[in-house]
Amino acid sequence: MSELSPSSPAHDAELSAYARLVRRRIVLIGALCLLMTAAMLFDIATGPSNLPLSDVLTGILHPGALDAPSRVIIWDVRLPYALMATLVGAALALAGAEMQTILNNPLASPFTLGVSSAASFGAALALVMGLSLPLLPVGWNLPVFAFILAFGSVLLLQMLASLRGTGVETLVLFGIALVFTFNALVALVQFVATQEALQQLVFWSMGSLARATWDKLGVLALVLLATTPFSLAASWRMTALRLGEDRARSFGISVRRLRFLALLRVSLLAATSVAFVGTIGFIGLVAPHIARLLVGEDHRFFLPASMLTGAAIMSLASVASKTLVPGALLPVGIVTALIGVPFFVVLVFSRRERL
């Protein structure tokens, strides 16, 4: 076979073609950043009380310059809801992207292995059975229960799967078993619930940003800050895992460990999100797909692009939830698909070639 020297023209041409590809991806990620920021500002500026964006910006930069009611609207409603939308969108999308890679399944989402069913059961226990933990501030009982169940279910899953040895199939099978178990348990609790508790539970499981507070934002931001660096540090290994498990292991990657740690991150992100805003489907499934179409599966670009896409879709969904039915704030979980699907379809049809 032909032996070309490292500095042959062909070699240089390919290297610069790759450099162009990398540049294009960085530009795309920059564009997604702008889109996300624009969507968030749009979200902040949208609401039943007509505050123009200029007032909102003034309210954020110089809180003293506005009257008290406007200040309250901006600081206690608009900002926390909008930031929660962004953070939850990013968290669910990152969780979905990692889940799709480690399960080697483009149909996986953060909730594939039962995280949201377990969280619903936790919420049901707190709402219907009135279980509570001591020492928790008001408003934290339900999310903490939801989180404990969600995270605990993943640990249980890991334990079961490791008893049986490695393998994605085992993990997915046990995950599906957990989904059915928790759904049955939730149904059981619903069966004995009072009318009022039942309604609360149904509303909770729909997913709503109206539960956002600054404390919860802080916790979710911390979880994102604590997990994202590890996700990014694992990005080459995740990329290699796309080439197959044997291949990745032959590169010296401990696939079992990689999968375990990724699943831990996914469950932390998904459980925290579910606990604070309820189940928001679809983002974790479709944001990674959009990111994949835009930048491919080099996880150095794929993971950030997923997060930004998820955040942008979630902000737009939040805008839609405020404007679709005038005067009413729809649960955002209901509109995410309405916003995400057109986005997705346009992108699928507009790609001439797939990367």
Partner 1 sequence: MAPPALRIEGLSAGYGRRRVISDLSLPAIEGGGVTALIGPNAAGKTTLLRSLAGLVPARGSIRLDEVELTRLSVAGHSARVAYMPQALPQRVALTVLEATLSALMSSPDGASDVAEAQSRALRALERLGISDLAMRGLDELSGGQRQLASLAQSIVREPTVLLLDEPTSALDIHHQLRVMQFVRELAEERGIIVVIVLHDIAQAARYATRVVVMKQGAVAADGPPDAAITPAMLADVYKVAARVERCSHGFLQIMVDRALDEAGVQARSVAPPST
Q: Does 252 bind partner 1 (CB under 8 A)?
A: yes
Q: Does 9 bind partner 1 (CB under 8 A)?
A: no
b or e along 252-283 (b: 16 or more beta carbons within 10 Å of the residue's beta carbon)?
ebebeebbebbbbbbbbbbbbbbbbbbbbbbb
Distance of CA 60 to the CA centre of its chain: 26
By CB under 8 A, what part of segment 275-294 binds partner 1?
Answer: 292
Select the residue interacting with partner 1 from 222, 251, 341, 345 (CB under 8 A).
251
* CB 95 to partner 1: min, Å: 19
Select the residue interacting with partner 1 from 42, 75, 203, 236 (CB under 8 A).
236
Residue number with CB closer to partner 1 (214 or 351): 351
Whole-angstrom Cα distance, residue 77 to residue 92? Answer: 22
* CB 99 to partner 1: min, Å: 16
Whole-angstrom Cα distance, residue 343 to residue 310? Answer: 12
* CB 252 to partner 1: min, Å: 3
By CB under 8 A, what part of segment 167-226 binds partner 1?
Answer: none
Q: Does 163 bind partner 1 (CB under 8 A)?
A: no
Beta strands in 210-319 (DSSP E): none
* CB 270 to partner 1: min, Å: 24
* CB 355 to partner 1: min, Å: 5
Q: Does 248 bind partner 1 (CB under 8 A)?
A: yes
Whole-angstrom Cα distance, residue 222 to residue 216? Answer: 10
Whole-angstrom Cα distance, residue 27 to residue 107? Answer: 28
Residue 298, exposed/middle/buried by CB under 10 A (0-12, 13-18, 19+)?
middle
Whole-angstrom Cα distance, residue 352 to residue 88? Answer: 31
Identify which range of 87-95, 197-205, 214-222, 251-259 contacts partner 1 by CB under 8 A.
251-259
User: Which residues contribute to the site for partner 1 (CB under 8 A)?
Assistant: 1-4, 6, 8, 10-11, 14-15, 17-18, 21, 106, 236-237, 239-240, 242-244, 246-254, 292, 296-298, 353-355
